[in-house]
Chain A
């Protein structure tokens, strides 16, 4: 009968003990890093929410696993924008607990529509780390919209704002572009966006968002033919951006100070600031030899801006 020598036995026993200690150590570390369950903070109890986009109804309960897998890394387990990735991100991920959203079709200070949130998830946000989430089905996206609502009690108490009416677009003409340029000057967009919309206006360097993080105004001249806006790509999207404001940022709403037809003129001018993008507006401008004529107001208003309040520099 061959028995193991005592010394070998001792060696095996010792190795096994060391292995146990190492494994126990891993177990402790793994347990300590186990993420808390996602959802509102335990002190906030909200009922399950729904969303309605077109014919689809989303249910928050069905989105929990998707949120945990795809969203919590940036937006945080508690939806407050403090996911573990957030420290490396600029701009910071949205904080759903305060229910302030940038891209809406509703007036400043009001909640977005379900469709606004649905579109943001699908489209992503240019110049940020929010991806284009083409991996989700429409139902999954609708469920996520419902899930976002559980983080803030505002969704229970307030109704979404009414979407603003976007009237039919006016024709793209050099006169429209010329009026748009006059509005850009008069409304002092250049103070932040700069005279050529390059994000280098006199106030640009001091801008902070509503959480006191530095933020840059949009640079219209960036990118090539693919240059896009944070809240969309079409002329209707541009219209909504300055008529509803980008909440949570320095960009205010101009809804009370621009007439709808004038707003289309401004949209057409803004398109010409996207100098590398092929657009109807840039075609019209090329046909006019790249020169925007000065705007002649057929019904001049009595008050005029004083001489020391003009934007520096000229047109293109």
Chain B
């Protein structure tokens, strides 16, 4: 009996340790040099949006934070991930608010449900300029239900509204569930990784792409940083 109990405990420990994927890759995305000046947006042609902003908003091609942090960088595992093709059940939401897209960069898994919401008092048309996926263009008046869509191929897609030409966003449709988008401090974190050799990619809509190779052996946290060179214009 004791041998059986011991071996059961040992078996449980082995199983448990292999289930506890707590390897993490985290770090900061920063920039060097001087980023181009972001231009203020004139929304006077759309008064219902203009009045929502006490001071005019600027373009969001390059969004920076303190200590040279670079925001809106999509960091994801581009190879080596044990992705089981699991499509998350919950939808991601893209909101049109104050004639801007929130968030500016939205990352999602292939075939994950994308919900598009119009919170403004004006009509928008939602026009993602897909080149690999299908390009569609739909009108979304105020007060109409959310639009539900999905993309079946990985791609970085520019999104625009033709009625309000200053509106610009990006969809990152990815083949993996291990992704993050850098925010205020430029931080990103990819968690719950089993041991393995990974390549991670950092993508910025203007500054391009960088990769790094990272190996996880157990439950450690590996620190990986990306530095992009700012463009003058």
Q: Are B139 and A257 in contact (CB under 8 A)?
A: yes
For the complex, give the distance between the alpha carbons of A203 and B48 in Å. Answer: 15
For the complex, give the distance between the alpha carbons of A109 and B138 in Å. Answer: 10
A-side contacts of B136, CB under 8 Å: 107-109, 245, 247, 253
With both beta carbons as reference points, the residue of chain A lying nearest to B145 in the complex is identified as A256
Complex interface bits, B18-54 against A, C-beta within 8 A gives 1, otherwise 0 = 0000000000000000000000000001011000000
Q: Are B123 and A188 in contact (CB under 8 A)?
A: yes
Q: Are B135 and A252 in contact (CB under 8 A)?
A: no
Q: Are A191 and B123 in contact (CB under 8 A)?
A: yes
Q: Are A309 and B165 in contact (CB under 8 A)?
A: no
Q: How far is the CB of A150 from chain B (nearest CB, A)?
A: 19
Q: Are B127 and A252 in contact (CB under 8 A)?
A: yes
* A250-B125, A252-B138, A309-B122 as given contacts; A303 in contact with B48, CB under 8 Å: no
For the complex, give the distance between the alpha carbons of A308 and B47 in Å. Answer: 7
Q: Are B139 and A187 in contact (CB under 8 A)?
A: yes
B-side contacts of A247, CB under 8 Å: 135-137
Q: Are B164 and A108 in contact (CB under 8 A)?
A: no
A-side contacts of B163, CB under 8 Å: 188, 191-192, 203, 250
A-side contacts of B140, CB under 8 Å: 257
Instruction: Tell me the chain A residues, 205-219 only, with Cβ under 8 Å from chain B.
Output: 206-208, 210
Q: How far is the CB of B222 from chain A (nearest CB, A)?
A: 39
For the complex, give the distance between the alpha carbons of A206 and B167 in Å. Answer: 12
> B57 near A: Cβ within 8 Å?
no
Contact of A98 among B48, B125, B126, B131 (CB under 8 A): B131
With both beta carbons as reference points, the residue of chain A lying nearest to B50 in the complex is identified as A308
Count residues of A near B (Cβ-Cβ below 8 Å).
34
For the complex, give the distance between the alpha carbons of A254 and B139 in Å. Answer: 6
B-side contacts of A110, CB under 8 Å: 134
Q: How far is the CB of B198 from chain A (nearest CB, A)?
A: 31
With both beta carbons as reference points, the residue of chain B lying nearest to A158 in the complex is identified as B134
Interface secondary structure of A, over-half rule: loop
Q: Are B138 and A253 in contact (CB under 8 A)?
A: yes
> A314 near B: Cβ within 8 Å?
no
> B230 near A: Cβ within 8 Å?
no
B-side contacts of A252, CB under 8 Å: 125-127, 137-139, 162
Q: Are B139 and A109 in contact (CB under 8 A)?
A: no
For the complex, give the distance between the alpha carbons of A149 and B48 in Å. Answer: 45
For the complex, give the distance between the alpha carbons of A208 and B163 in Å. Answer: 10
For the complex, give the distance between the alpha carbons of A206 and B162 in Å. Answer: 8
Complex interface bits, A247-286 against B, C-beta within 8 A gives 1, otherwise 0 = 1111111111100000000000000000000000000000
> A100 near B: Cβ within 8 Å?
yes
> B63 near A: Cβ within 8 Å?
no
For the complex, give the distance between the alpha carbons of A186 and B143 in Å. Answer: 12
Other A-B pairs beyond A208-B165, A210-B129, A303-B142, 4, CB < 8 Å: A191-B123, A252-B139, A256-B144, A305-B142
Give the interface of B toward A (CB within 8 A): 45, 47-48, 121-123, 125-127, 129, 131, 134-144, 147, 162-165
Give 7 nearest A-B pairs by CB, closest first.
A109-B136, A250-B162, A252-B125, A206-B165, A109-B134, A188-B123, A252-B137
